[in-house]
Amino acid sequence: MKSDAVAFGIAGVLFGLIAGWVIGSQQAVGRPPVAAAAPVAQQAPAGGGSGTSRAAVIDETQVNALKTVAERETANATPRTQLGNLYFDAERYDEAIKWYGEAVKLSPKDVNVSTDLGVSYYYSNQPDKALEQFDRSLALDPKHVKTLLNVGIVKAFGKQDLDGAGTAWKQVIAIAPDGPEGQAAKRALDSLTSAHSGVQGVARKPGA
């Protein structure tokens, strides 16, 4: 599930860079943080070829086989999700959006695919669409921690809304304090707190 990569990727390089970003990068964001600051993988909420990860090479034989299945099985979301995954890994986000979008239409209650679509929007420089899609995910599962973690990333990096990012990360910590997403959110929140202690919503430790 692609949103897993977002949750765990942010826990790497991002936390070493977030303080500097908060202090010195308040200009308009031209591209999501993976391109700008090299967070790992599908950070999201998201990036590009200039990051530390390398785009996967598309297996055209596999793609063609999945497209054949998708054309034959018009009500089957699975091959469309798999195509979205392949194109996402290859950093071909517009094509990932196409296939994730088709999968979501066929399986509208699949919160993971919905979130993957939102991450793809973010990586293609559409943070507002990403947040709208995450809202749809949270309507399905208000406690979906990977979505909430990504909301924080998009708000911080795509919208430069540090208050909103802090609020989202606090929710992750409250829901899953000992899980990998909760630990990632705590590190992000701690970084924001120490670097930008005057920002409402991130000025205090969770629970303070």
Which CATH architecture group holds 2-195? Alpha Horseshoe (1.25)
Nearest to 152 by CA among 10, 4, 17: 10
Q: What is the pLDDT of residue 204?
A: 39
122-to-13, 70, 166, 175 alpha-carbon distances in Å: 18, 25, 18, 24
Q: What is the pLDDT of residue 206?
A: 36
Q: What is the pLDDT of residue 130?
A: 96
Q: What is the pLDDT of residue 192?
A: 80
Does pLDDT of 116 surpass 90?
A: yes
Does pLDDT of 30 surpass 90?
A: no
List of residues 6+ apart from 37 with CB closer than 8 A: 13, 14, 17, 21
Q: Average per-residue pLDDT in the chain?
A: 77
Does pLDDT of 49 surpass 60?
A: no
Does pLDDT of 35 surpass 50?
A: no
Q: Which helix (H) or strand (E) holds 6?
A: helix 2-9
Whole-prediction pTM: 0.74
- Average pLDDT of the segment spanning 109-133: 96
Does pLDDT of 124 surpass 60?
A: yes
Which has more pLDDT, 78 or 34? 78
Using 50, 70 and 90 to split pLDDT, how confident is the model at 24? Answer: very low
Question: Per DSSP, which regions of the chain are E strands?
Answer: none
- Average pLDDT of the segment spanning 192-197: 70
* DSSP letters for 122-136: HHTT-HHHHHHHHHH
Does pLDDT of 15 surpass 90?
A: no
Q: What is the pLDDT of residues 128-179, one digit of tens each?
A: 999 999 999 999 999 999 999 999 999 998 998 999 999 999 999 999 999 9
Share of the chain above pLDDT 90, in %: 58
Q: Is the dihedral of CA 135, 98, 112, 173 positive or negative?
A: negative
Cα–Cα distance for residue pair 90/103, rounded to 1 Å: 18
User: What DSSP state is assigned to residue 71?
Assistant: H
Q: How do the domains of the chain map onto residue ranges? A: 2-195
Does pLDDT of 33 surpass 80?
A: no
Q: Which helix (H) or strand (E) holds 149?
A: helix 145-153
- Average pLDDT of the segment spanning 57-74: 95
